[in-house]
Structure 1
Amino acid sequence: MTAHPGARSIRATPEGLLWEPSERWVRGQKGDVTVVDSRHPVLVWEPDFPVPLYAFPREEVRTDLLRPAENPPRGRHTGSRIFYDLVIAGELLENAAWTFPADDLAGHIAFEWFRRTGWGLDHWYEEEEEIFIHPRDPHKRVDALPSSRHVRVEIGGTLVADTHRPVLLFETSLPTRYYIPREDVRLDLFEATAHSTGCPYKGTARYWSWRGEGNVPSNIVWSYQEPLPAVALIKDRLAFFNEAVDITMDGEPLDRPVTPFSEMLRRHT
């Protein structure tokens, strides 16, 4: 099969990095200051890290706001040794940016995205849409499909949800999640928590914990009140961690999957 002339393929470096050019216009801001304004970003996948990040041509970065890091970390970002502190209006973000030790990525600077670590910028945009947590992987799909399948959810033998109108969310490399109408969930058996998470594919989720007895992880139920347009069908519906509840679909019990979330749930039991 002949590749399309415009097709791009993932490339590998001797250091174990995977990368490919992106055609998205990407911008990063700290406060009102645009630190990155790039029409030639590169997506980079680091070994043993499941989501990508961006690296940007140096000329599309406000390098005048960067200075060599005073306390560069060790062992972070695949052997990178050159880190930069970001200084804006007297505010210091240590190790906010770095370069990869790969010839293929020479002349590119990468930035932290996670604001909660204290390193990242405040806002990131792809075209005109704000992106959260990490860049979206172009090789990953997230599909929300309405269904008439019969889904039942139990916790410790107690029926907590029963519906014939779920929305099934299929996400590459993760188990199917079953988003259930609120009226089909015994929400009185749960209590709202202050916990929230962000997802670049779905938006910001709020959580509930089980009120009953048993070794049940906290924040086992979640919902997106304002999901991103691509998954608008899950709005206000409730989903459970398959890893920690018993789900039956069309009368067939489903196995509890083992996922990257499994260990997190065990720690919060």
Structure 2
Amino acid sequence: MATSLDEVTKSQVGLLRWTDMHRRVRAFVDGQVVVDSAEPIQVWEPYRVVGCYAVGTADIAVPLEHHVPTMPGADHPPILTPAHPFSMHTAPGAAYDIGADTRTLVGAGFRLDDPDLADYVLLDWDAFDEWREEEQIAMGHAHDPYKRIDCLATSRHIVVRIGDTVLAESHNPTLLLETHLPARHYIPREDVRMDVLQRSDTVTVCAYKGQATYWSAVVGDEVVPDVAWTYTDPLPDAEPVRDLICFYDERVDVQID
């Protein structure tokens, strides 16, 4: 019987998982290097879809303080995303404060009880000011080595509507495929009704594409907030979609031939 790799991935989400990173990882606080590891791993606690970096104790330049044993709660969501705090642990272990010179990072370290990972300290991404993989600044969250982006030029005819109003129509979109996420179509601005879009204040960060700014649509008396987004200064993998407009398929009507 054939096995779907997508289904295999989904079936493992309730397990404690880890992988080697094969790169140097550093974390900074107020310009100080607090973590510097040539042999980091990435760890996914059960039910987390985004992992965190974990390093050996010797790779942390400052003390671990206040050992606090932690047991997983039973009331966590079925899936945990980066929106859920690092402190929402789903495996037994102990939380530690990390005493940087300028401030204490409360609960920013976590050592698992699992014997295979007992020598590692899991690190809270949000507790640190800056992360680097080798010399590349990392943003958003820890980078999953099993995730990738493909940007493919396509000649498919795409029409985007809200009701009877056409927001965009193109024969020249770029198809962006990101592992385990829906396919997205990025449309050249000349094929978009920019007169019905208004720049919003929303900004989000993708670990693989960069910082996105958003647009709301004004159709008659209706305002559809944050209906589309743009990467004006994307990370290298997303360079082909620089300045293109992508619409939330969930908030508009999309027809693709």
Check if 1:21 corresponds to 2:20: yes
Aligned to 1:256: none
Matches within 5 A, 1:149-228: 149-212=156-219, 218-228=225-235
**What is the TM-score when the length of structure 2 is the normalising length?**
0.83
Aligned to 2:121: 109
Aligned to 2:108: 96
Structure 2 CA distance, aligned partners of 1:218 and 1:73?
40
Q: Alignment RMSD, CA only?
A: 2.4
**What is the TM-score when the length of structure 1 is the normalising length?**
0.79
Structure 2's unaligned 5+ residue stretches are 1-8, 74-87
Measured after TM superposition, the shift of residue 63 of structure 1 is 3.7
> Does the aligned pair in 1 maintain the 2:69–2:93 contact within 8 Å?
no
Aligned to 2:30: 31
* Greater relative contact order (Cα < 8 A, sep 6+): 2
Structure 1 CA distance, aligned partners of 2:34 and 2:184?
37
Structure 2 CA distance, aligned partners of 1:224 and 1:49?
27
Q: Measured at CA, do residues 242 and 84 of structure 1 come closer, stay the same or move farther in structure 2, by a change above 3 Å? A: same
Aligned to 1:139: 146
> Does the aligned pair in 1 maintain the 2:213–2:229 contact within 8 Å?
yes
Q: Measured at CA, do residues 74 and 95 of structure 1 come closer, stay the same or move farther in structure 2, by a change above 3 Å? A: farther
Structure 1 CA distance, aligned partners of 2:67 and 2:162?
50
1:37-76 C-alpha deviation (Å, 9 max, x unpaired): 0011111122221112111011111242x31168979742
More strand by share: 2
Check if 1:128 corresponds to 2:135: yes
Aligned to 1:87: 99
Structure 2 CA distance, aligned partners of 1:42 and 1:214?
51
Count of matched residue pairs: 232
1:184-224 C-alpha deviation (Å, 9 max, x unpaired): 11122121111111111100000011223688752121000
Structure 2 CA distance, aligned partners of 1:73 and 1:191?
47
Aligned to 1:266: none
Structure 1 CA distance, aligned partners of 2:29 and 2:38?
19
> Does the aligned pair in 2 maintain the 1:70–1:85 contact within 8 Å?
no
> Does the aligned pair in 2 maintain the 1:69–1:94 contact within 8 Å?
no
Structure 1 CA distance, aligned partners of 2:28 and 2:71?
23
